């Protein structure tokens, strides 16, 4: 089992475009904006990183709702 993974929490999508990620990183995105912007940012990451796990936390009415499925590319 490979435990050499980075856990990254992001609340600003611009960070996705600037940051360099490695294969195997796990990104938690705290996001409450437009889905189109999120999709474009995720596509950009996918073009740069082969294998990455992403968990999206949407923020509704000051309570967090966990999206049950993880997105694996």
pTM of this structure:
0.57
Q: How many CB atoms lie within 10 A of CB 24?
A: 15
Mean pLDDT of 19-24: 82
Mean pLDDT of 9-27: 80
What is the number of domains present in the chain?
A: 1
Which residues on adjacent β-strands are paired with residue 66? 57
Residues with Cβ within 8 Å of residue 24, at least 6 apart in sequence:
2, 4, 5, 6, 51, 52, 53
**Is 13 domain-assigned?**
yes
Cα torsion 17, 20, 23, 29 to 10°: value is -50
- pLDDT for res 34: 67
- Checking if the pLDDT of 68 tops 50, the result is no
**Is 2 domain-assigned?**
no
| Residue 24 lies in domain | 7-72
């Amino acid at each position: 089992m490979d435990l050499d993974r980075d856990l990254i929490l992001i609340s600003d999508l611009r960070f996705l475009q600037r940051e360099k990620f490695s294969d195997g990183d796990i990104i938690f995105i705290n996001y409450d904006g437009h889905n189109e912007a999120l999709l474009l940012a995720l596509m950009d990451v996918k073009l740069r990183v082969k294998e990455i796990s992403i968990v999206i936390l949407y923020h509704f009415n000051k309570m967090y709702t966990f999206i049950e499925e993880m997105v694996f590319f």
